[in-house]
Amino acid sequence: MSTAFNDPNHGKLLKIWNEMEVPGFVKTAASVTDQDFTVVDVKHFGDPAKRQYPLNSKSNTWLSREHFNRDKDGIPKKAAEVIEKRIQKAASFWGLDEPARKRQSDEQPTIFHVTIDGDHNKEKQVLDLTGHYKTACEQFYANRSAYPYPVRRSFARQVLAAPSDVREPLDIEIEEGLSKMANYGSCTGSTARDAVFLRMCYVKRKDPETFGHLVKVAKHLQDQEGLVDIDLLHKTAAILDAVDRSHGLHVKYGKELSAPEETLFSFTEKRASTVRDQAVVLADGSIVNRLELIEHEPQVREYFTKIAGSIEYSDDDSMVEEILRLNAHEIPVLLDFLEA
């Protein structure tokens, strides 16, 4: 729905496409016309009152920022300031701190280098990724077990922060894997503790000293509540990586053992945004997953038939809307039907 971008005829979208360096994640995202913005929570818009400038995804935020830049001169000053702040906040959340670049007249690729510490001698190594960003990311990810944790982290952070005209769309698995390598995620204390326990099982008989150190780490993680602090997870990942490499466990990555960052940073921003977008908050404060509601449509249909006496919805979206209209005292009965 292009009205969400205040661009019903797609004229501004065409100008953006022709004038700007459109990043890969925007090119490969769902098209504007294929998205249903009526199901997006009102708080995920730059202009909630008009439900314009959607900020519910990285690609939509990038487009909303560009559309707003072309619209703001025609918006009352105070309203424009409020909308701009909301868009800037969302852009920061999605990592869009760099302004979009205008398309260059020449087609020469932007020079892009990654500098990391050497694997053995600790000397700096400069990798030239100019013109082959996607290939380099794919090769690094495929051979990740060959690099120690600090190298993986350094490489991932730099490639994910590359200029928009350098980045190319990556497979979801690779982009998610790089996000974990870069520490752009977290996990609970119990999850981190279990990762330590697994190493303890491998080294208990072979290396009692290392086993003792891991016991201390596990106890410290056990006391953590909620999502663990990123710095603590970073230190834990470095310890586990050292244990893995000294005992040859890194060759098991992707098989019977996950690299430390795969577990410790499993709850990434991408996954968090997916969870947030799929969460449905009912009138009594209960939170259910939208996809689970859709999967239990027969039970929902039975509820409306037996309790409400009629069915007022025709598709998944209208079904969810009907559920959101229920009063708080009706929710427990609906949940009973879903659990039946």
Q: How far is it, in rounded angstroms, from Cα 59 to Cα 78?
A: 26
Q: Are 83 and 47 in contact (CB under 8 A)?
A: yes
Q: How far is it, in rounded angstroms, from Cα 206 to Cα 95?
A: 44
Q: Are 183 and 234 in contact (CB under 8 A)?
A: yes
- Which of 12-21, 78-87, 161-170 has the highest average model confidence (pLDDT)? 78-87
Using 50, 70 and 90 to split pLDDT, how confident is the model at 271? low
Give all strands (DSSP E) within the chain, no chain letters.
Answer: 45-47, 52-54, 113-117, 124-128, 185-186, 267-268, 279-281, 287-289
Q: What is the pLDDT of residues 148-199, one digit of tens each?
A: 999 999 999 999 989 888 888 888 889 989 999 999 888 889 999 999 999 9
Global pTM reads 0.52
Instruction: Look up residue 155 and give its DSSP letter.
Output: H
Half-sphere exposure of 142 (CA within 13 A, CB side): 7
pLDDT at 247: 95
pLDDT at 273: 56
User: Looking at this protein, which amino acid is placed at residue 78?
Assistant: K
Q: How far is it, in rounded angstroms, from Cα 157 to Cα 103?
A: 25
The mean pLDDT value for 52-65 works out to: 92
Q: Are 116 and 152 in contact (CB under 8 A)?
A: no
pLDDT at 116: 81
Instruction: Look up residue 307 and give its DSSP letter.
Output: I
Radius of gyration of the chain from its Cα atoms, rounded to whole angstroms: 24
């799929």: which residue's tokens?
278
pLDDT at 307: 84
Closest CA to 217 of 202, 237, 203: 237
Phi-psi label, residue 254: left if phi above 0, alpha if psi -120 to 50, beta otherwise:
left
**Least confident among 103-112, 128-137, 239-248, 260-269:** 103-112
Q: Rounded to whole angstroms, what are the CA distances from 147 to 67, 138, 150, 156, 266?
A: 42, 14, 8, 12, 19
Q: What is the pLDDT of residues 226-236, one digit of tens each?
A: 888 889 999 99
